[in-house]
Amino acid sequence: MRASPSPLFFGRQDESADLDALLADLKDGRSAVKVLRGPAGVGKTALLEYATSVAAGMTLVRASGVQADMELAYAGVHQLCASFLSDVDEIPAPQRDALRVAFGIAAGEPPDRFLVGLAVLSLLTRASESGPVLAIIDDAQWLDQVSKQTLEFVARRLLAESVGMVFAVRDPDGGAAFSALPALRIDGLDPGAAGALVEASVGGRLDPQVRDRLVAEASGNPLALLEFTRGRNAAELAYGLDPSSRGQAQGSVSARVERDFVRRMEALPSETRTLLLIAAAEPVGDPRLLVRAAEAMKVPLDAAPARAAGLIELGDFVRFRHPLARSAVYHQASPAERRAAHRALAQATDPVLDPDRRAWHAAQAADGWDEEAAAGLEHAAERARQRGGMAAEAALLERAAELTPEPWARGRRALAAAEAHFSAAAPQSATDLAALADMCPLSPLDSARLARLRARVLFTRSRSDEAAPLLLEAASQFAAVSSHSARETYLEAISATVFAGRVHGPSGARAAAVAARDSGAPSSGSKPADLLLDGISSLLSDGPRVGVPVLQRSREPFLSESLTTREETLRWLLLVPVALESFIHYGWDLPTWDALASRAVRLARDAGALGVLPPALIYAGGVQIHRGDFAAAARMIDEADTLALATGNAPHIYAALVLTAWKGDEDAAARIVREAQTNAAQRGEVSLLGVTGYVQGVLYNGLAQYKLALQSARIGIEHDGFNFTGLSLVEHVEAAVRCGEMEQARASLARLAELTDAANSGWARGIGARSRALVEELRADELYEIAIDELTRDQVMVEVARTHLLFGEHLRRSRRRARAREQLRIAYEMFDRMGARAFAERAKRELEATGEHVQVRDMSPISFLTPQELRIASLAGSGMTNPQIGAELFISTHTVEWHLRKVYTKLGIGSRRELPSMLGAGLSSLSAGGVTGQAPQSPDDGSGTRRASSRRGRLDPGPADVAAAVGSHG
C-alpha cells in the first residue's frame, strides 16, 4: 500500500497561495497575521505544516493549545517564547519583570496581561532584527484564556515588523477567539479534490459511486477521508464502508473521525490503552513523566501497538497523531480509569517544579469531596493570581469549591471563584458561582462581597440605575461589619449613578452620598480617597456652595498620593473617573482636570494597565479639546479606541462626541449621537442622553442653528444627571438669547450662576460673566472683557475664542465695526487654527459683514500627518529614542521607525534632527498673518472706547502649539 499523501496538495491551491503571500510579506519586511478557521480534520494543521516547510531562512517558533492545559495561565505564551527567553534582559525592565512573573521565573506583583503582551511583542521584534520570524499556533482554541488575550493583543500591534503569526482555530470550539484578526476559512475539499484524495489513499481507482459516497459522507473533510480509508484498499472498499461503520454517517464529521479512532483503540491490548490514557491526560508531552506515571500504574511501556494503529508518536515528545485521537482516548475511558490516570500523573509530577499541574491532576483524581485536593487547588489559584492568570485562578477555585466538603469553606471558595471569573471578564461564570456561594453559609463580610459582586456584574452588563441600589446595599453591609471596603463601595455606587444619569430619587447619586456620609464607615485605608468621598458626598448632599470647597480640599492629597504598589496604583486609577467628573462639572477646574488626567495616563502607561489607560486618555483628550488643541485630542482618542479594540473593550465615545461637535462636523456628529443614543437605550447608560444634549447644543450654536441648539440643550439641562448639566446650561443661555426666549435664558442663567459662583475658578467666573453678558446688554462690554481675562487665566481656549466671537457679534450689532473687527478677527483665526470649522465660518460671516475680506491660509506640510505620525514626530523631536517612543505608545521600535520614515517623506526632511525646526516652522507658517491673541492697538474706533487688553486671547506657547497648528487635520 502507498502511504497516505498530505491532503494539502489536493484542492488547497488557493489556501497555499494565501500563505505564500503572507510569507512574501514577511520577506519584504512587513508583518502578517492569519487565522485559519474550520472544523476538526479539515486540514488546518496540514496548512500550518506547509507554511513551515516553505518558510526557508525564517526563524520558526511554535505553540499548541492542549485541552487539559487550558487552566494554566500563560502556558501557551510560555511555549511560544521559550526559545527567546535568553534575550529577555534586552527588553525594557517593566516588560522583562512582567514576563518573568507571568512565567513563574520570578516573584512579584501580578503583571498586567497587556504589559506581558508588550514584552512578547518586544521579544518577537528583537528576533526579527536578524530575519523574518514566523509564529505557528495550532489548536489555538485550547490555549489558556490569558494566552489567547495576550497573543491576540500582540497580533493587533504588529505593523512594521518582519513577524508573522498564523493561528489554527477549530470551529465551533473556538467560539469568538481571535475573531478580530484576519481569517482564512478552511472548508471541506470540493468533490473533485476529495475524490482524488480518496483514490490516492487507497492506491487504486474506486467505483465512482463508492468514491462519491465516501466523499459525501465525509463532507470533503480530508482527515475523515484519510481515516475512513486507512488500512483499506480499493477492493475492500468496493461495497463502501465495512458493515461495522453503518449508521455512523449521522452527526458531525469530527464525531465520526473520533469514533474511528475509538475503533482502532478498542483493538489494542488493555495495557496499551492504559498507556494511551495516561498520555492523553498529560498535556505537556513529557516522555519521562509518561514513564514515571506508567510505572506507578504498573503498566509496561510498550507503545508499539499504538504506533502501529496510527494513534501516537513517541520521540523527544509524546504526540497524538491528531487532537481527535487524544480526545477519543480520554473520553472513551471510564471515570474511574481517568481518575486512576490522573492519580498516577499527580504522583509522577514534581511538587517543587510543577506544583500547579500536580494539584490539578490530584483534583481530577478525586472521587467526591476531597479537602486536601481542594486546598491544593486553592494554593495553585493563588500562584496563578500572582502570575496575572485570572482565568486560571477562577477555574482552579471553581474546581476547589466543587471538591470542598465543608459548607462554609465551599461558600468562601465559590465566592472567590466568582470574583476571579468577574476579573477575568466572564460575568456569566461569575453569576453561576455566585449562585453556588449563595447556597452556602457565608460570613457577614462575605455576604457583603457577594452583594457587591452581583452589583458589579449587573453594572458591567447594563449601566442602568439597577446596579446603584445593590452597590449601596453592599456598602451598608460592609459598613455594618466595619470593613475598609465600605467607603470604596460607596464611591462605586456614586460612580454607577453617574453613568446611570440620575442625581435624585432613591437610587440616585444624592441618595448614595447621604448614605455614605451617614454610614459611619471606617477609613478605607487611603486618606486621599476618604477625602474625595467626603467632598463628593458633601457636594451631592449639601449642594455645590457647601460641597465644592470640601471637594477642593481633596485635590492636592488625591493628586499627590504616594502609590508604592501596583494594587494601590490600580485602586487610584479606578477612582480617577468619579474624581474627574466632580472636578470638571462642579469645580469647573481645568488645571485639576489636566493634572489628574495626565497623571492617570502616566501611571497607566508605567503599570502597563491597558484596561484603564483608554478612559485616562479620553479624559486627557477632553483637556486638549478645551485647550483648543484638537489635533492632540484626536490623537488621544484614536489611541484610546485602538487600545480598547486591542483589549476587547467598547470604545469610549464621550470625547469623540465633544470633539466632533466643536469641529462642527454635522454628519459625523449625527452618526456618533445616534450610536450614543442606541447605547443609552440598550445598556441603560442614561448619562449619554445628557452628554448628547450638550454636544448638540455646541454643534448647532456653532452652525448658528439656534432653534435646534435650544431644543438640544434643553435635553441636557432637564436631564437629571450628575455631569454635563452646567455645560448644557451655557449652551441653553446662548441659544435662548438668539431665539429671543429671554425668560428661558434668565432661568438657565440663574441655575448656571449657582454652579459657577460655588466653583470660583477662572473657567467658572469667565463662563458666568460671558453668559450674563448675553442677557445684560448694558454691562455687556465689561462682562465680555472680564470673561476673556478669566478664561485665559485657566487656558480654556475654545471658550476664549468663543467669547471673542460673541463680543464681536455684540459690537457689530451695536454698530461699532472697528472694534467688532478686532474681536471677530481673533475669534476667526483662533477657531480656524483649532479646526473648529462651524464656529470659524460663523466668525468669518460676521467679519465679512463688517466689510473685512478674509483670506484662507495655506496648508502646512505637517497638516498632512496622521494623528499617530504627528504624535511620534513630536516625541522624536523632543529627544525621545525610538525604544522610548515604542514603550510610550505600546508599539514596537520597528513600527516607530516605519512611521518616522513616512513622516520624513511627507515633511521632505532626512532625519529626526530636523523635526524640531520643521514642526516649529509649520506652526509659524500656519500662524503667519493669523492670530497671536494680540491685535494691534487702536486708539479709538469712534466710540471713545479703546480695545481690550493686548494679552487677551493669547495662545501661550507650549507643547500643544505643534498639534494645534494642524487644525482640523487632527
Q: Is 73 helix (H, G, I), strand (E, B) or coil?
A: coil
Query: Residue 708 CB: number of other CB atoms within 10 A?
Result: 15
The C-alpha cell 514584552 sits at 119
The DSSP annotation for 880-934 comes to --HHHHHHHHT--HHHHHHHHHHHHHHHT-SSGGGHHHHHHHHHHHHHTTS--S-
Average pLDDT, the chain: 81
Query: Residue 311 CB: number of other CB atoms within 10 A?
Result: 25
The C-alpha cell 482564512 sits at 184
What's the Cα-to-Cα distance from 446 to each of 414, 442, 490, rounded to whole Å?
Answer: 11, 6, 17
Peptide bond into 172 cis (omega under 30): yes
What's the Cα-to-Cα distance from 478 to each of 451, 490, 575, rounded to whole Å?
Answer: 10, 10, 18
Closest to 638 measured CA to CA, from 662, 624, 621: 621
| Amino acid (one-letter) located at 597 | A
The DSSP annotation for 19-40 comes to HHHHHHHHHTT--EEEEEEE-T
pLDDT of residue 794: 94
Instruction: Show the low-confidence residues of the chain (pLDDT under 50).
Output: 1-8, 236, 238-250, 922-970
Q: State the Cα–Cα distance between residues 513 and 499, nearest whole angstrom.
A: 15
Q: State the Cα–Cα distance between residues 437 and 407, nearest whole angstrom.
A: 9
Closest to 688 measured CA to CA, from 706, 698, 676: 676
Q: State the Cα–Cα distance between residues 836 and 685, nearest whole angstrom.
A: 28
pLDDT of residue 764: 96
Distance linking the first and last C-alpha atoms of the chain: 68
- Burial-class residue 89 by CB neighbours within 10 Å (0-12, 13-18, 19+): exposed
Q: How far is CA 382 from the centre of its chain?
A: 25
CB 491 within 8 A of CB 578: yes
pLDDT of residue 464: 57
What is Dmax (Cα atoms) for the chain?
114
pLDDT of residue 927: 36
Q: State the Cα–Cα distance between residues 819 and 952, nearest whole angstrom.
A: 14
Please state the φ and ψ torsions of residue 275, each to the nearest 5 degrees. Answer: -60, -40
Closest to 470 measured CA to CA, from 512, 502, 439, 505: 512
CB 268 within 8 A of CB 275: no
The three grid cell numbers given for residue 703, joined into one nine-digit string: 452652525
The three grid cell numbers given for residue 232, joined into one nine-digit string: 483499506
| Amino acid (one-letter) located at 124 | L
Q: State the Cα–Cα distance between residues 642 and 784, nearest whole angstrom.
A: 41
Q: State the Cα–Cα distance between residues 318 and 298, nearest whole angstrom.
A: 19
pLDDT of residue 807: 96
Contacts of residue 845, defined as CB under 8 A and 6 or more positions apart, other chains included, come to none
The DSSP annotation for 467-507 comes to HHHHHHHHHHHHHHTT-THHHHHHHHHHHHHHHHT-SSSTT
The three grid cell numbers given for residue 964, joined into one nine-digit string: 494645534
Q: Is the pTM of this model over 0.95?
A: no
pLDDT of residue 638: 84
Closest to 87 measured CA to CA, from 61, 63, 58: 61
The DSSP annotation for 215-254 comes to HHHHTT-HHHHHHHHTT--TTTTTTSS-GGGTTTTSS-HH
CB 778 within 8 A of CB 793: no
Q: How far is CA 730 from the centre of its chain?
A: 34
Give the pairing type, strands 312-314 and 318-320: antiparallel
Give the pairing type, strands 163-170 and 32-38: parallel
The DSSP annotation for 328-391 comes to HHHHHS-HHHHHHHHHHHHHHS-TTT-HHHHHHHHHHH--S--HHHHHHHHHHHHHHHHTT-HH
pLDDT of residue 11: 79
CB 451 within 8 A of CB 473: yes
CB 348 within 8 A of CB 71: no
Query: Residue 383 CB: number of other CB atoms within 10 A?
Result: 17
Contacts of residue 641, defined as CB under 8 A and 6 or more positions apart, other chains included, come to 614, 651, 652, 656
Please state the φ and ψ torsions of residue 164, each to the nearest 5 degrees. Answer: -120, 145
The C-alpha cell 528583537 sits at 126
CB 662 within 8 A of CB 698: yes
Q: State the Cα–Cα distance between residues 50 and 123, nearest whole angstrom.
A: 25
Q: Is 312 helix (H, G, I), strand (E, B) or coil?
A: strand
Q: Is 586 helix (H, G, I), strand (E, B) or coil?
A: coil
Q: Which residues pair with 166 in a beta bridge?
A: 34, 136
pLDDT of residue 790: 96
Q: State the Cα–Cα distance between residues 85 and 213, nearest whole angstrom.
A: 51
Please state the φ and ψ torsions of residue 893, each to the nearest 5 degrees. Answer: -60, -40
